Each structure stands twice: as C-alpha cells, then as structure tokens.
Amino acid sequence: MAVTYNRDQIRAALALTDPAVSSFLDLQTGNVVSITEGDQSQANQELSALIMDSYGDRFRYIPGGNPAADDAAVSAWLENEGLT
C-alpha cells in the first residue's frame, strides 16, 4: 500500500525558520517528525536515535528556512528526493 505524504506538514517544515528544530519525513507514515537540539527529554532522544539509525531508508531531512514555501516548493522537494 502506497503511503500518502502529508504535504501540509512538509510545507510547514520547509517554512520553519528555527535553527534548533530539524524536521524529517517519515516514509512509513507520510508524516513529518521533528527533533529539537538541546532537548534532553527521553522522547526526543529516542526519536533522534531512531532517525539516525534509519536515515535514508525511513527518514528524509527537510531543510527549513523558506518562509514562503508553497505547494510548488513541496512538489520540488518531493521530486528532488525521488519521492514522486
């Protein structure tokens, strides 16, 4: 069964301008997950470890910094990642 990527979450991740937050697309669920630098909570540490262990196969990094991200930016990112 094909996964549907949450384009609204991807757009929000592309628009994110907080350098302490890193966003990743979970290819299994289609949702975006985020980890926060400096957050020492168990949940953040476990998610960070899972992402690092499965990076490339399950998770793809979404670079932020584009406050004007729109559907075209989402489409371009998905295409660049080979996900379309």
The confidence score (pLDDT) of residue 84 equals: 85
Cα–Cα distance for residue pair 12/4, rounded to 1 Å: 16
For CA atoms 13, 14, 18, 20, the dihedral sign is: positive
The confidence score (pLDDT) of residue 72 equals: 97
The confidence score (pLDDT) of residue 30 equals: 97
Q: Global pTM?
A: 0.93
The string of pLDDT tens digits covering residues 20-65 is: 999 999 999 999 999 999 999 999 999 999 999 999 999 999 999 9
Angle subtended by helix axes 7-15 and 71-80, to nearest 10: 90
The confidence score (pLDDT) of residue 2 equals: 81
Looking at the DSSP assignment, which residues form a beta bridge with residue 21? Answer: 36
Alpha helix ranges (H) inside the chain: 7-15, 42-54, 71-80
The confidence score (pLDDT) of residue 1 equals: 64
CB atoms within 10 A of CB 19: 9
Cα–Cα distance for residue pair 62/40, rounded to 1 Å: 22
* Burial of 15 from C-beta contacts in 10 A (0-12 / 13-18 / 19+): middle
